[in-house]
Copies of this chain bind each other. A is one copy, B any other.
Amino acid sequence: MSPKITTELLKQLRQVMKSPKYVQEPVQAYIVPSGDAHQSEYIAPCDCRRAFISGFDGSAGTAIVTEQHAAMWTDGRYFLQAAHQMDNNWTLMKMGLKDTPTQEDWLVSVLPEGSKVGVDPFIIPADQWKRMSKALRSAGHDLVPVKENLIDTIWTDCPQRPCKPLITLDLSYTGVSWRDKIVALRSKMAERKVLWFVVTALDEVAWLFNLRGSDVEYNPVFFAYAVIGMNTIRLFIDGDRMTDPAVREHLQLDSTLDPEFKIQVMPYGSILSELQAVGAGLSPKEKVWLSDKASYALTEAIPKAYRYLTPYTPICIAKAVKNASETEGMRRAHIKDAVALCELFNWLEKEVVPKGTVTEIIAADKAEEFRSQQKDFVELSFATISSTGPNGAIIHYKPVPETNRTLSVNEIYLLDSGAQYKDGTTDVTRTMHFGTPSAYEKECFTYVLKGHIAVSAAIFPNGTKGHLLDSFARSALWDCGLDYLHGTGHGVGSFLNVHEGPCGISYKTFADEPLEAGMIVSDEPGYYEDGSFGIRIENVVLVIPAETKYNFKNRGSLTFEPLTLVPIQTKMIDVNLLTQKECNWVNDYHQKCREVIGAELERQGRHEALRWLIQETEPLIRVQ
């Protein structure tokens, strides 16, 4: 990996920072955040502006360029990668280290008095703008919105914004029509006494209209906004996607609908002016509902007194609770996914053990190949983490030719992968040894397994927030002085983003919403030893009601049902470290894998993989 040479680019950027063509007054600093205008986690190539200007293409990072300096803030996952990808023009700001200044503090320390700091108001979320603007103002500087994105002005070969065809999802997938979703949304709006709701997150637009796209890799979304009034629906979307007869039919664009369900289609770029018009037409006490993470530009379009901002939108919360059709779809998707992984692991055992010719990349490609043979496969749900030996300790590893290792009988192999199927999204991690694991490797694996089981089998009251379960996943590791430095689980979309809010399981007490039946999260504790190996055991699990002996205050209880049904390698388990209850959990889980996945392998005529499954699901026996 050689760094990107950015001297010329930075020179150009510093020129446009002073050019009256783009800025009313020169800006002494320009902020280039990671995100797109929808605060997406995964972004399209045309939105990779921070990577373009710096060379650093990790998923998180903020660049700030002043007349003298260029600095990049990123977190511990990316210190090494950023250092490799950036040239000497850049200073790496290691977030989380004690001596690293915040962006605000750094700006204050380097800027001349009374400076202007520019940022694209469409990219910066309103809550972040507020924080930064306040800090700068108190030091005598100004944060100013620069309408035209300054990176775009110098990015001559910037790729076009994708505008791919849409997929319509019928009731058998979604369970609820878009009209009923609009009705439910309007009732939430009426409850909160707001007249308008602005949909800014891409997965929320996709979910609301039962549409999917492929504008962003791994996330089946498309670039669009929506503005929902009590009697109007406006969809802001580009391209000829609305000429597709299937889409027109799905959205009933040509039928004589009740006017309150008539969708007005408008250009993507007109959202700001339309929203400003909405804002200008409001009477006192009329409110507009936005996410507090919506862009500063859209938030500012509504005068402050008329804004109703919440951390989670009603769509985000409704989307998280899967209905029966979505749950059944997720079950089907996970069965197909397990079939593909049984095929893969069977193939790996045949290839790795005697031949030793399988690399991390070959294994990842093979996993995709097996998945793509399954019905309704669309694409992967994220870049496959296929890592062996020391690469497994790099939590967000993705194999590239420079790092590609060959799987062997001497190292632990970690595969974290998933797919988008038209009926659901998967995300599964299995850790295996193709030879004989050491006692220490088995010990660590077993602690991780105990943590996985502790979460999966936990019973907890209705209304419990996921962060209260995080320590269950760590307790066995903690007892021995071990731990892992990531959260335990994230929400999973239904043929949507593999990471979605508002629930999760993490020691970080972000404002997660309480878990309720129908929510779907991952359960993925791990253990990582730098330079040696990584272990992670991940299932996607469904929140379900739990039967309990008593029922305190009639609150009811919840627990999890694993949707992922892929054997957990028993060779890696030190069965004497398990309690009888944990041992029973593993055996019951494997019995279910045999029954459900076995039947599907049989149906698909995959007899070798079936033999592998049977062999891998032999019951554990605990010696008392």
**Chain A interface bracket (under 10, 10 to 19, 20 to 34, 35 or more):** 20 to 34
Interface set, chain A 12-27, CB cutoff 8 A to B: none
A400 interfacial by beta-carbon distance below 8 Å: no
Using Cβ atoms and an 8 Å threshold, which residues of chain B touch A138? 305
Are the CB atoms of A482 and B305 closer together than 8 Å?
no
Q: Evaluate contact between A478 and B507: CB separation under 8 angstroms.
A: no
Contact: B467 with A509, CB < 8 Å? yes
Given contacts A305-B138, A480-B548, A480-B549, contact A475 B461 (CB under 8 A): no
Task: Provide the residues of chain B in CB contact with A471, threshold 8 Å.
Answer: 460, 468-469, 471-472
A551 interface residue (CB < 8 Å to B):
yes
Specify which chain B residues have a CB less than 8 angstroms from the CB of A474 in the assembled complex: 460
Instruction: Write the A191-217 contact mask toward B (1 if CB under 8 angstroms, else 0).
Output: 000000000000000000000000000
**Do A470 and B472 have beta carbons less than 8 Å apart?**
no
Asked if A552 meets B483 with Cβ closer than 8 Å, knowing A478-B459, A478-B557, the reply is yes
CB distance from A327 to the nearest CB of B (A): 24
Q: How does the 8 Å CB contact mask read for A520-551 relative to B, with 1 for contact and 0 for none?
A: 00000000000000000000000000101111
Cα–Cα distance between A509 and B482 once the two chains are bound (Å): 24
Q: Is A354 interfacial (CB 8 A cutoff)?
A: no
Instruction: Find out whether the CB atom of A549 lies under 8 angstroms from the CB atom of B481.
Output: yes
Query: Does any Cβ of B come within 8 Å of A8's Cβ?
Result: no
- Give A499-522 interface residues, CB cut-off 8 Å to B: 507, 509
In the complex, what residues of B have CB within 8 A of residue A481's CB?
459, 461, 546, 548-552, 557
Are B507 and A468 closer than 8 Å at their CB atoms? yes
Chain B, residue nearest A530 (CB): B553
Distance (Å) between the CB of A177 and the closest chain B CB? Answer: 29
The answer to whether A480 and B550 touch (CB under 8 A), given A470-B468, A475-B458, is: yes
A479 beta carbon closer than 8 Å to chain B: yes
Complex Cα spacing A400 to B148, Å = 72
Query: In the complex, what's the smallest C-beta–C-beta distance from A75 to chain B, in angstroms?
Result: 16
Partner of A478, one of B305, B460, B509: B460
Complex CA gap A550/B480 in Å reads 6
Given the complex of chains A and B, what is the CA–CA distance between A546 and B480 in angstroms? 10
A475 to B546, CA, bound (A): 14
A478 to B467, CA, bound (A): 16
Question: CB-CB contacts of A115-146 with B at 8 A, as 1s and 0s?
Answer: 00000000000000000000000100000000
**A270 CB → nearest B CB, Å:** 30
List the B side residues contacting A548 at CB < 8 Å. 479-481
CA gap between A477 and B459 in the complex, in Å: 9
CA A459 to CA B474, docked complex, whole Å: 10
Nearest chain B residue, comparing its CB with the CB of A624 = B624
Closest Cβ of chain B to A3, distance in Å, is 29
CB-CB under 8 A from A475, the residues of chain B are 458, 472
Q: From B459, B470, B482, B551, give the contact of A479 (CB < 8 A).
A: B459
A461 CB contacts on chain B under 8 angstroms: 478, 481, 483
Chain B positions within 8 Å of A557 at CB level: 478, 481
Q: Which residues of B contact A507 (CB under 8 A)?
A: 468
A480: chain B residues within 8 A (beta carbon): 548-550
The interface residues of chain B lying within 8 Å CB-to-CB of A469 are 471
In the complex, what distance in Å separates the CA atom of A470 from the CA atom of B305? 40
Tell me the complex Cα distance, A459–B483, Å: 11
A480 to B470, CA, bound (A): 20
Distance from A39 Cβ to chain B, minimum over Cβ atoms (Å): 24
- Proximity string of chain A (468-498) to chain B, C-beta cutoff 8 Å, 1 when within and 0 when not: 1111101101111111000000000000000
Interface membership of chain A positions 540-575, coded 1 if the CB is closer than 8 angstroms to chain B and 0 otherwise: 000000101111110101000000000000000000
Q: Please indicate the chain B residues that have their CB under 8 angstroms from the CB of A472 in the complex.
A: 471, 475
List the B residue with the shortest CB-CB distance to A485. Answer: B553
In whole Å, how far is A289's beta carbon from the nearest beta carbon of chain B?
16
Q: A509 — which chain B residues lie within 8 A by C-beta? A: 467, 509
Question: What mask results when residues 437 to 472 of chain A are scored 1 for a CB within 8 Å of chain B, else 0?
Answer: 000000000000000000000111100000111111
A458-B482 in contact given A138-B305, A468-B470, A468-B507 (Cβ < 8 Å): no
Query: In the assembled complex, how far is the CB of residue A98 from the closest CB belonging to chain B, in whole angstroms?
Result: 11
Q: Which of A138, A472, A482, A551 has the most CB of B within 10 A?
A: A482
- What residues of B have a CB within 8 angstroms of the CB of A552 in the complex? 477, 481-483
User: Bound state CA distance, A553 and B529, in angstroms?
Assistant: 9
Q: Chain B residues with Cβ under 8 A from A467's Cβ? A: 509
Q: Bound complex: CA of A509 vs CA of B481, how far in Å?
A: 24
With A and B bound together, what is the CA distance between A111 and B553 in angstroms? 37
Using Cβ atoms and an 8 Å threshold, which residues of chain B touch A549?
480-481
Per the bound structure, the CA–CA distance linking A475 and B480 in Å amounts to 20
Q: Smallest Cβ distance from A392 to chain B, in angstroms? A: 16
**11 A-B contacts (beta carbon < 8 Å):** A138-B305, A459-B478, A459-B481, A467-B509, A468-B471, A472-B475, A478-B557, A480-B548, A482-B552, A483-B553, A509-B509
Given contacts A458-B478, A482-B550, 15 further A-B contacts (CB under 8 A): A138-B305, A459-B479, A461-B481, A468-B470, A468-B507, A471-B471, A471-B472, A479-B548, A480-B548, A481-B549, A481-B551, A481-B557, A482-B552, A483-B553, A509-B509
Binding site for B on A (CB under 8 A): 138, 305, 458-461, 467-472, 474-475, 477-483, 507, 509, 546, 548-553, 555, 557
What are the nearest 4 A-B pairs in CB distance?
A481-B548, A509-B509, A481-B550, A480-B549
